Amino acid sequence: MNPIIEYGSYYHIFNRGNNHENIFTEEEDYLHFLDRMDLYITPIAEIYAWALLRNHFHLLVRIKEEEEIGYFNSQHAKSENPDLKWKTYFPETPDERFVIKPKPIEQFKHFFNAYSRWFNKRHERTGSLFQKNYERREITSERYFTNLVVYIHGNAVKHGFVEHIDDYPWTSYRIIKTTKPTNINRNVVLSYFDGVENFIATHRMSLDAIEENIGELIIE
């Protein structure tokens, strides 16, 4: 059974397409998923790593403490523009305009539902896009965190999409090792690896060794 999502905790979030169907079929699908992730998840969580792999995805996040999460503007709550509806604010003194604080478990639900509706409409399909329940597993140690980052980034190699981690475009690996603007908390990730050089070197390790370290904790 999946654990509940608790404030301040770290999680590996994973789901796959219903009946192992593809949930990404073209570049626009990957880009839209990342855009919706930014809209729905960054208000309630810090993102540390992600990988999008045709019929499944992996996310590594820390759910923010409740006081770190802003409020929805109730004036926008019924907006048809999701960029307004799901934007959070940090008023010094919340008044009647700011009465809704997003709940993490609901934000993940909204995220996956929004992407599913968009994908089905774009690709003229019906029915569930994802398996019913997304998997989440709490991360409880620094060792687990660092191994999981490498595992997530190496997933495309594991599944034979590319030979080298650096060759696959739909993970956070190349973003983390650069200085380009990103919604990923790059500094936190690199601090776990003692800097970008060791981050790169660790990713050159055998994925078999990484899986051996956290094999019983992988949810795939």
The per-residue pLDDT for 78 is 77
The per-residue pLDDT for 75 is 82
Phi and psi angles of residue 18, each rounded to the nearest 5 degrees, phi first: -60, 130
Position 76 in a domain: no
User: Residue 116: which H helix or E strand, with range?
Assistant: helix 104-122
Position 26 in a domain: yes
Look at 104-108, 141-145, 156-160 and tell me which has the smallest mean pLDDT: 156-160
| 3-class DSSP state of 100 | strand
Q: Give the separation between CA 7 and CA 101, rounded to whole angstroms.
A: 13
Q: Are 218 and 58 in contact (CB under 8 A)?
A: no
Position 84 in a domain: no
The per-residue pLDDT for 1 is 47
Q: pTM for the full model?
A: 0.90
Q: Are 98 and 2 in contact (CB under 8 A)?
A: no
Q: What is the CA radius of gyration of the chain?
A: 18
* In the chain, % of residues over pLDDT 90: 63
Whether residue 153 is predicted with pLDDT greater than 50 in this model: the reply is yes
Whether residue 94 is predicted with pLDDT greater than 70 in this model: the reply is yes
Q: At what angle do helices 27-40 and 104-122 cross, to 10 degrees?
A: 160
Q: Are 205 and 150 in contact (CB under 8 A)?
A: yes
| Overall average pLDDT of the 78-96 stretch | 83
CATH of the domain at 180: 3.30.70.1290
Position 34 in a domain: yes
Position 4 in a domain: no
Q: In this structure, what token pair is assigned to residue 156? A: 């495309």
How many structural domains comprise the chain? 1
pLDDT digits (tens, 9 = 90+) for 110-124: 999 999 999 999 999
Interior angle at CA 14, CA 52 and CA 26, nearest 5: 25
| Overall average pLDDT of the 65-85 stretch | 86
Domain that holds residue 57: 10-66+103-217
Position 98 in a domain: no
Position 87 in a domain: no
Q: In this structure, what token pair is assigned to residue 160? A: 């034979």
Position 92 in a domain: no
